[in-house]
Amino acid sequence: MQLASELAACIQEFAAAGPAELRENGARVAPLATLSWEVRGNSEKPLLHLWSENHNLTRRVLAITDRSEQRLALAVECFGRTKPDRLEFLRTEFERPERELSRDAFAQAIRRLCEHQFPDETLDSMSTAADLEHSLSGNYVRGILRRGKQAWALIAVPQEQSGEDPARCLTFALLWLDRLRRNSSKKQIAGLRLLMPADSAAPVAHLLPALHPGLAIQLFERDTVMEQLHRIEPSALANFSSWIVPARDTQALLDRAARELQMLLPAQRVAISLHPDLAAKEVVVRFRGLACMRWHESGIWFGEREPKIKWDAGKSKQVQELFRELETFRHSPPSDTRHRLYRAQAERWLEFLAREDVTRIDSTLQQPFAYTQVLAGMAAEHGILDILSVNKSGRLAILELKTVEHPVFLLQAAKYWLRIRKHLQQGDFQRCGYFGGLTLQQKSPLVYLVAPALHFHPATEALMSYLNPEIEVVRVGLAESWRRRLTVVLRQ
């Protein structure tokens, strides 16, 4: 039997016998069931073409090297290569999850791009598996590009992650770089190459000045149509846009809302705080940090955790019952630590307590000054609410708050630091009505990382070594009973 006929019969038989997947040189390509295929030609070296919406692979088959119930292996030639490759159809016991298949397909696309873009380098240690021990996310493809004794750490961000906080992907990229450097000579790992989806590199580029100037980072964007990587020069991108919300405009919005909210709020308001959103032209009422009411010029809404019920005169009793329930369960010491109202939005509760008296965080901070949502649009970029204060010498202080472990904590603070420093240098704060009567130092702002002492992520120490030396960080650890009272038990 000619090789072409034997090959077609073998593949058809293997595909009919149950789930299988295609691998090339050991790397997964796709499930066989998702691929169309054909054998072309009747020569001693027929062409095998496999294709789908996401794959297009053509190989010249030299021989069938192994055939069993579990495996069909082929020796193949790939155009442009001198050595034979290995193509395998492997039996699988079950269909793999769609997300896992998508990650594998993305990894193979990255391998092909690297082979084209960096022909003199070899991509190895490629993985999409999460490594919880070393805080490495499974959302990205990571690997090493080697050429001789020199190597680059590689991180590729998938399309579905393109709109995420740039601090997130850059954090995990730095953790991968740090992991490699700890396992080899630093001189061998030249730096970091970050492969971003098309039109998504700018936010990451804007964050790079927060990193050590001696750190080598190369940015690329992927062109999936042309299957190419385009090198992005951070200096060629426009600076990030950032603007300050004028204090007078914020106060005017608060005054409008307060007049209409007055009759609905409880008589005792020590737990109540009002949070204006100038862009949305609304004010959110929070009870120890938990959103329970929202004012807009078109109406008032209320509800537990997310205000969705539109208020009218007939629902005043429901509002009173809501505040009674909040006072019962969102209180310390609590009647029930597992109650949903006690556990919800912990970081907002911490922010409420810190704003109430910033001197509990550091006695050198000035109590009258504790601003939030100073920068327009920043609150939408990540869920942690920053506080901007000032110490007694007039130096700005950024308080970044977190109640659970997460390695992104540090770079989120660094992103905020870049914006605050820029506005400080431009004299924007006092022009917009903040820090009235004070003379602000032009020295770079301090950064306070504030969290329960046992909830600083272990990767924080390693990440700090990659920060710009201008960023002065103070880690403030709180007692676990912080809801009752902010007590500092650790300061570094």
Structural domain includes residue 284 = yes
Say how far apart CA 396 and CA 411 lie, in whole Å.
Answer: 18
Say how far apart CA 362 and CA 346 lie, in whole Å.
Answer: 21
Structural domain includes residue 241 = no
Confidence of residue 79 (pLDDT cuts 50, 70, 90): low
pLDDT at 143 > cutoff 70: yes
* Predicted pLDDT of residue 145: 94
* Predicted pLDDT of residue 129: 77
Give me the CATH number covering residue 74: 2.70.180.10
* Predicted pLDDT of residue 86: 87
402 exposed, middle or buried (CB, 10 Å; 0-12, 13-18, 19+)? Answer: buried
- What contacts 162, CB < 8 A, 6 or more positions away? 196, 197, 199, 200
Mean pLDDT is lowest, of 20-29, 64-73, 118-127, 370-379, for: 370-379
Domain that holds residue 104: 99-236
Q: What is the pLDDT of residues 224-254, one digit of tens each?
A: 777 889 999 988 887 778 889 899 999 999 9
The arithmetic mean of pLDDT across residues 247-267, rounded, is 93
Domain boundary among the residues 306, 341, 376 is at 341
- Considering the domain architecture, whether residues 106 and 222 belong to the same structural domain is answered as yes
Give me the CATH number covering residue 169: 3.40.1350.10
pLDDT at 29 > cutoff 70: yes
Please calculate the CA angle 448-452-455 and round it to the nearest 5 degrees: 100
Q: What is the pLDDT of residues 412-441, one digit of tens each?
A: 999 999 999 999 999 999 999 999 989 999
* Predicted pLDDT of residue 191: 95
The arithmetic mean of pLDDT across residues 121-132, rounded, is 83
- Considering the domain architecture, whether residues 168 and 256 belong to the same structural domain is answered as no
Say how far apart CA 464 and CA 473 lie, in whole Å.
Answer: 9
- Considering the domain architecture, whether residues 219 and 293 belong to the same structural domain is answered as no
pLDDT at 332 > cutoff 60: yes
- Considering the domain architecture, whether residues 402 and 299 belong to the same structural domain is answered as no
Q: What is the mean pLDDT of the chain?
A: 89
The arithmetic mean of pLDDT across residues 375-390, rounded, is 66
The arithmetic mean of pLDDT across residues 322-333, rounded, is 92
Instruction: Tally the domains of the chain.
Output: 4
- Considering the domain architecture, whether residues 127 and 160 belong to the same structural domain is answered as yes
Domain boundary among the residues 213, 236, 259 is at 236
- Considering the domain architecture, whether residues 353 and 437 belong to the same structural domain is answered as yes
- Considering the domain architecture, whether residues 408 and 461 belong to the same structural domain is answered as yes
Let me know: does 79 contact 191? Beta carbons within 8 Å: no
Domain boundary among the residues 46, 73, 96 is at 96
Structural domain includes residue 130 = yes
Structural domain includes residue 332 = yes
Structural domain includes residue 226 = yes
The arithmetic mean of pLDDT across residues 262-273, rounded, is 92
Structural domain includes residue 357 = yes
- Considering the domain architecture, whether residues 103 and 91 belong to the same structural domain is answered as no
- Considering the domain architecture, whether residues 449 and 387 belong to the same structural domain is answered as yes
pLDDT at 385 > cutoff 60: no
Torsion sign across C-alpha atoms 351, 449, 422, 171:
negative
* Predicted pLDDT of residue 482: 95
Confidence of residue 305 (pLDDT cuts 50, 70, 90): confident
Structural domain includes residue 89 = yes
- Considering the domain architecture, whether residues 419 and 380 belong to the same structural domain is answered as yes
Confidence of residue 405 (pLDDT cuts 50, 70, 90): confident
- Considering the domain architecture, whether residues 463 and 358 belong to the same structural domain is answered as yes
Q: What is the pLDDT of residues 151-160, one digit of tens each?
A: 999 999 988 7
- Considering the domain architecture, whether residues 332 and 227 belong to the same structural domain is answered as no
Confidence of residue 379 (pLDDT cuts 50, 70, 90): very low
* Predicted pLDDT of residue 383: 42
Hey, what are 41's tokens? 């030609």
Q: pTM, whole model, 2 decimals?
A: 0.79
* Predicted pLDDT of residue 399: 96
Structural domain includes residue 242 = no
* Predicted pLDDT of residue 227: 80
